[in-house]
């Protein structure tokens, strides 16, 4: 019976041990999912750092373009100084110098306008890059949170993978759109620069024509100053040619800078596209790994459930066996009790019969005693008659 009690305690202990084992396996699977999520977050961080580097390169390109505009302004200031020097060379060329100064002022204003527009565009691009960076950080943060939620259910993991793929495609589309807009802006800036150079060349030619006209008028009026006028005209022509050459040279430099910036933008766009494709591939790989881990965990759970069911069936069989043994022992005990009761009843009957026999013997002995007491004794002779009478009167 003590062995039966021990068997009755075994199912709870077995169930507890199996539940503990299942909990450990579930915890191990959760740890694996957590490690996978951490790896995804690290890869997202690397992608973000790559995009930050790209943003830095864009900022460098903007700084280079700004430096090119500044050099153009400096060369414009140098041209203004040369025109002032030419104006100081003589009063006869004052009108031409004033016209050239006006043309240069207009060119400076246009250059300042172009510079302001370029600065605004650069600021706008920086703001867009900052907003995109912030949005990407939020998206990565949300993706990390959703990756953590994948540990709860496989459906959430698939949903997260789909969202990440859609976000990557949308980011790629936005990146291409932004690259196209930047290229269009660069082409527009190049066109504006060419237009400005053409306007400067036209103003220079007009100033040259005005100078020649003024020189002719002054040559007709002032014959004595013909030599000086010719000399001044030659100097002015040389200065204008030099300014035109510098303007053409600056325009060529700016066009080259624009082309270089466009090439850098294309290169950066290609790098971004490659990085996003790699991130998308890694996200898909991570989702597949997580799905495999979830399937493995489900298989382990099913295996554990099957083992528990088998253990329960075995336990039920053991309990049925024990119940059968207990029933057989109870029947045997009942048979022994009946046998003992029959023996005891027999013994009681024997004792009762012996008691009745002893009672009969005692009853017979009592009857014999009473009979013996009632019997008169034989007279012994010679006794006197008086004694015989006394005995007779004393007897009942």
pLDDT of residue 261: 74
Q: Is the pLDDT of residue 83 over 70?
A: no
pTM of the model: 0.31
Q: How far apart are CA 22 and CA 297, in angstroms?
A: 10
User: Are the C-beta atoms of 27 and 294 separated by less than 8 Å?
Assistant: no
User: Are the C-beta atoms of 139 and 279 separated by less than 8 Å?
Assistant: no
Q: How wide is the angle at C-alpha 259 spanned by C-alphas 253 and 263, nearest 5°?
A: 140
Tokens of 188: 């527009």
What is the 8-class DSSP label of residue 383?
-
Q: Is residue 359 part of a domain?
A: no
Q: How wide is the angle at C-alpha 140 spanned by C-alphas 134 and 146, nearest 5°?
A: 140
Q: Is residue 105 part of a domain?
A: yes
Tokens of 349: 């009957």
Coil, strand or helix at 224: coil
Tokens of 347: 């013994």
Q: Is residue 33 part of a domain?
A: yes
User: Are the C-beta atoms of 227 and 35 separated by less than 8 Å?
Assistant: no
Q: Is residue 275 part of a domain?
A: yes
pLDDT of residue 9: 54
Of 246 and 86, the structure prediction assigns the larger pLDDT to: 246
Residue 83 lies in domain: 20-313
Q: How far apart are CA 396 and CA 383, in angstroms?
A: 21
Query: What value does the mean pLDDT take over residues 294-313?
Result: 85
Q: Is residue 31 part of a domain?
A: yes
Q: Is residue 285 part of a domain?
A: yes
What are the tens digits of pLDDT across the range 235-276? 878 877 887 788 788 878 878 877 887 888 788 878 888 888
- Band (pLDDT 50/70/90 cuts) for residue 93 is low
Query: What value does the mean pLDDT take over residues 298-316?
Result: 86
Q: Is residue 118 part of a domain?
A: yes
The total number of structural domains in the chain stands at 1
User: Are the C-beta atoms of 87 and 97 separated by less than 8 Å?
Assistant: yes
Q: How far apart are CA 62 and CA 119, in angstroms?
A: 9
Q: How far apart are CA 288 and CA 311, in angstroms?
A: 34
What are the tens digits of pLDDT across the range 172-190? 888 888 878 887 887 887 7
Q: Is residue 345 part of a domain?
A: no
b or e along 116-145 (b: 16 or more beta carbons within 10 Å of the residue's beta carbon)? eebeebbeebeeebeebeeebeebbeebbe
pLDDT of residue 1: 46
Lowest mean pLDDT among 57-71, 297-311, 340-354: 57-71
Query: What value does the mean pLDDT take over residues 96-113?
Result: 74
Query: What value does the mean pLDDT take over residues 226-235?
Result: 72
Q: Is the pLDDT of residue 197 over 50?
A: yes
């Amino acid at each position: 019976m003590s062995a039966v009690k021990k068997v009755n305690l075994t199912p709870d202990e077995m169930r507890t041990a199996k539940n503990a084992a299942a909990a450990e396996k579930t915890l191990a699977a959760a740890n694996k999912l957590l490690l996978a999520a951490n790896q995804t977050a690290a890869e997202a961080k690397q992608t973000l750092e790559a995009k930050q580097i790209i943003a830095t390169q864009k900022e460098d390109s903007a700084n280079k373009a700004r430096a090119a505009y500044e050099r153009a302004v400096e060369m414009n200031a140098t041209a203004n100084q040369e025109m002032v020097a030419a104006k100081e060379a003589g009063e006869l060329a004052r009108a031409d110098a004033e016209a050239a100064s006006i043309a240069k002022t207009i060119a400076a204003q246009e250059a300042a306008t172009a510079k302001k527009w370029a600065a605004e565009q650069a600021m706008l691009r920086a703001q867009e890059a900052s907003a995109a960076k912030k949005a990407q950080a939020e998206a990565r943060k949300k993706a990390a949170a959703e990756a953590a939620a994948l540990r709860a259910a496989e459906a959430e993991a698939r949903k997260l993978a789909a969202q990440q793929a859609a976000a990557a495609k949308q980011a790629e589309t936005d990146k291409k759109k932004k690259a196209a807009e930047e290229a269009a802006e660069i082409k527009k800036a190049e066109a504006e620069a060419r237009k400005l150079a053409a306007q400067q060349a036209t103003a220079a030619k007009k100033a040259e024509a005005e100078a020649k006209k003024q020189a002719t008028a002054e040559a007709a009026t002032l014959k004595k100053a013909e030599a000086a006028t010719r000399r001044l005209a030659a100097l002015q022509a040389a200065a204008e040619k030099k300014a035109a050459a510098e303007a053409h040279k600056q325009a060529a430099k700016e066009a080259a800078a624009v082309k270089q910036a466009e090439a850098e933008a294309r290169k950066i766009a290609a790098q971004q596209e490659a990085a996003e494709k790699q991130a998308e591939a890694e996200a898909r790989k991570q989702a597949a790994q997580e799905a495999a881990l979830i399937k493995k965990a489900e298989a382990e759970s099913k295996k554990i459930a099957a083992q528990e069911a088998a253990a329960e069936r075995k336990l039920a069989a053991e309990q049925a066996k024990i119940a059968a043994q207990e029933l057989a022992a109870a029947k045997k005990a009942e048979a022994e009790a009946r046998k003992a009761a029959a023996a005891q009843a027999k013994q009681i009957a024997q004792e009762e019969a012996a008691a009745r026999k002893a009672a009969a013997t005692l009853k017979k002995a009592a009857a014999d005693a009473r009979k013996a007491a009632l019997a008169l004794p034989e007279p012994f002779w010679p006794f006197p008659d008086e004694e015989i009478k006394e005995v007779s009167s004393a007897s009942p």
